[in-house]
Structure 1
Amino acid sequence: MIRVLHIIKSLGRGGAEMLLQETLPYHDHSKFEFHYIYFLPWKDQMVEGIEENGGVVNNFPANNNISIMLQVKKIVRYIRENKIQLVHCHLPWAGFVGRIVHRQTGIPVVYSEHNKQERYRSVTRYLNKLTYNWQTSVIAVSGDVAESIKKNINPIIPVHTLLNGVAVEKFNRDHEAGLNIRKQYGINENAIVIGTIAVFRFQKRLKEWIDVFKSTEAKHPGIRGIIVGDGMLKEQVLGYLKESGMEGKIITPGLQTEVRPWYSAMDIFMMSSVFEGLPIAMLEAMSMQCAIVTTDAGGIKEVIRNEKDGLLVPV
């Protein structure tokens, strides 16, 4: 039995977090045992799904990045007590912790890089350059991300490109579920619905998303919008939605753990991101047979060919 520990900042509904839940059922549990440590206790939407599929989840509470770094001793103790043989870290601050753990224990540490180095804050970029070789290997979620690592860090450890993916047999369009969402919110079953699912943060440029929808609705009255999600910019996004006069035309149902009915209600999945690794939500939308309209940020252009798989516009 090989015991693997995943370390991640939170288990809220984000792309990396969703991958942990969605991939777990596909592993051979007679050969692998999976443990999970996360730090932000209020971001726990994926915990139930992981535990239902046999994962062992532990929260080591931390309120900020500094307190996350102070969890190293506790993590090392957990690794030794549970005979962990491999550590897999996701996203920068979990990665920093994992690299220190690697130096202290010698246990192999793999890090998944979900974004381009240029998009991180200066302190994150500095710490990445300082510590990147304190791990065993790196998985980049797109070729664009791998190129950014080589350009900005040029590590001596291996960097492998493994594109993000989703369980296509799970993400199938459900016509009835989509109709139920439309009925619940008073959307005509024949209306064109443009939607997105996103964490409300700068990267996603949801104000620009609203602007694009508004200009499209002016030319095509009767279309409706859906923005599913939550995040630190929630108040600003909702305020801008009201200011734009789109409150009655764009639905904002908040954070939804079960997103498949929402994809089923959408005809078009639109993204306005300024940067991405390779977004899980877009891949889910593709599997759910939504037409894709998106910026060409990051690894998106590696899976969307303009006017073949969807419509691409420059960032």
Structure 2
Amino acid sequence: MTVEESKTATKSARKPLRVLHITFNMGIGGTEQVIRQLVQGMTSEGVKSEILCIDGHIGPIGEALQQSGVPVHKLARKQGFDWSLIKAIRKRLREGRFDVVHCHQYTPWMYGWLAALPTRTKVVFTEHGRFYPDRYRYKAMLINPVMALFTPSIVAISEATKDALVKYEFIPRHKIQVIYNGIAPLVRDNDEAQKVRDSLGIPRDAFVVGTVSRLDPVKNQVMMLRAFKQFSEKQPDSYLLMVGDGPDKAKLVSLAEEYGISARVIFTGFINSPVHYLAAMDVFLLSSHTEGTSMTLLEAMSLEVPAVATRVGGNPEIIEDDVTGILVEPGMAHPFAEGIEQLHQNPTLKQSMGQAARLSFNTRFSAGSMVYQYSKIYSEPDPTPYLLHGSTDEIKNG
């Protein structure tokens, strides 16, 4: 047997790694997209993945994964602290004989960590973003350092998120690793993008700015509308394309009418696959109060669409100001409008920024890079002290 044949035989004989992802649900959002990329990206490596949603429903991304053969489970978390949820998660860990439980966001980490305590399952925690405004919780000061001590791998999706975990969650800095979100690059189809413009009644020579996002107060699309109003007063051939849905939609529609720009602000509602809508934009807008690693920003970069974004959270780590996009201070409508105007007035700059954004995406934010880094974490030995775990026989006997 050759060396290569020996390696192949060893790999095929090795027990497949089993990973359970715990999250709130698998609706539409950045966290859900990351989980999907991890599940699909590790299939070729022989990793067997399942997903557990703890908020009582699965959501469209989860349903799509179910249809492709990925087991997706749901549990209904009760109000208050739900001790029964810990028991149910522990039962799933033992029945599935999982090697790793990957907890996405803080609450799934807390429940997943407690459930895994008497098992041999390795705990991985990823913080995907922060609430706005961020705040201290005194209970975190007591609980989180203990949880962190006995969690082998803690991941933040940006340096800004890592700083927040240290400041607000009292997690030691040396325990936190940064892994940027990654996605598969989108493929531009200019003919399909033009069909989107035509279907929405946008003139072919119009300048289109837009966003793909949940319409939510934390995204601060109110400021985006104010900025577009200022920009469109100078450039009446412009359109704002708002792809998404959420609790702020009615407010934003009303505000567009109040500003007198409703004829040129298009609300599409939720679009399951918005690639051609993104490609129909000349400039991508991100006006959030806070961000981790925006998946739609990465998608825009992969399509060579430059962005005007607020200088918050992980955005400055993704966008190099005046190179791959334009950064402005949060909540400032006038500078935001000026950023749009700068790209409108200089098509050469807009093109060069788009090309630089695409290059940066390929170098730093590919799905392959993210999957590789997590696969290393999954396969590393668990240094958690043995005293926290039950014996292997206990798990096998359930």
Whether the 8 Å contact between 1:133 and 1:156 is mirrored in structure 2 is: no
* 1:88 correspondence with 2:102: yes
Q: How does 1:72-221 map to 2 (within 5 A)?
A: 72-116=86-130, 119-120=133-134, 126-127=139-140, 130-131=143-144, 133-134=146-147, 135-152=151-168, 153-155=170-172, 158-168=175-185, 171-221=186-236
Q: Distance in 2 between matches of 1:118 and 1:237?
A: 19
- 1:238: Cα distance to partner? 2.6
Structure 1 spans left out of the alignment, 5+ residues = none
Q: Bigger CA drift: 104-113 or 277-286?
A: 104-113
User: Where does residue 340 of structure 2 map in the other structure?
Assistant: none
Q: Distance in 2 between matches of 1:159 and 1:33?
A: 25
Q: How does 1:276-315 map to 2 (within 5 A)?
A: 276-315=291-330
Q: Distance in 2 between matches of 1:68 and 1:193?
A: 48
Structure 2 spans left out of the alignment, 5+ residues = 1-15, 331-398
Q: Distance in 2 between matches of 1:106 and 1:120?
A: 34
Count of residue pairs brought into register by the alignment: 311
Q: Distance in 2 between matches of 1:220 and 1:204?
A: 24
TM-score under structure 2 normalisation? 0.72
CA pair 118-207 structure 1, distance change in 2 beyond 3 A? closer
Whether the 8 Å contact between 1:203 and 1:274 is mirrored in structure 2 is: yes
- 1:284: Cα distance to partner? 0.8
Whether the 8 Å contact between 2:132 and 2:289 is mirrored in structure 1 is: no
CA pair 190-118 structure 1, distance change in 2 beyond 3 A? closer
- 1:264: Cα distance to partner? 1.4
CA pair 190-31 structure 1, distance change in 2 beyond 3 A? same
CA pair 52-231 structure 1, distance change in 2 beyond 3 A? same
Whether the 8 Å contact between 1:173 and 1:263 is mirrored in structure 2 is: no
Q: Bigger CA drift: 111-120 or 131-140?
A: 111-120
Code of the residue aligned with 1:80 in structure 2: it is: R
User: Where does residue 242 of structure 2 map in the other structure?
Assistant: 227
Code of the residue aligned with 2:223 in structure 1: it is: E
Query: Secondary structure of the residue that 2:314 maps to in structure 1?
Result: helix
CA pair 3-28 structure 1, distance change in 2 beyond 3 A? same
Query: Secondary structure of the residue that 1:298 maps to in structure 2?
Result: coil
The percentage of counterpart residues that share the same residue type is: 26
- 1:49: Cα distance to partner? 3.1
Code of the residue aligned with 2:165 in structure 1: it is: I
Whether the 8 Å contact between 2:132 and 2:218 is mirrored in structure 1 is: no
Q: What is the CA RMSD across the aligned residues, in angstroms?
A: 2.3
- Hey, which of these two has a bigger chunk of strand by percent? 1
Whether the 8 Å contact between 1:25 and 1:53 is mirrored in structure 2 is: no
Q: Distance in 2 between matches of 1:164 and 1:30?
A: 19
User: Where does residue 12 of structure 1 map in the other structure?
Assistant: 27
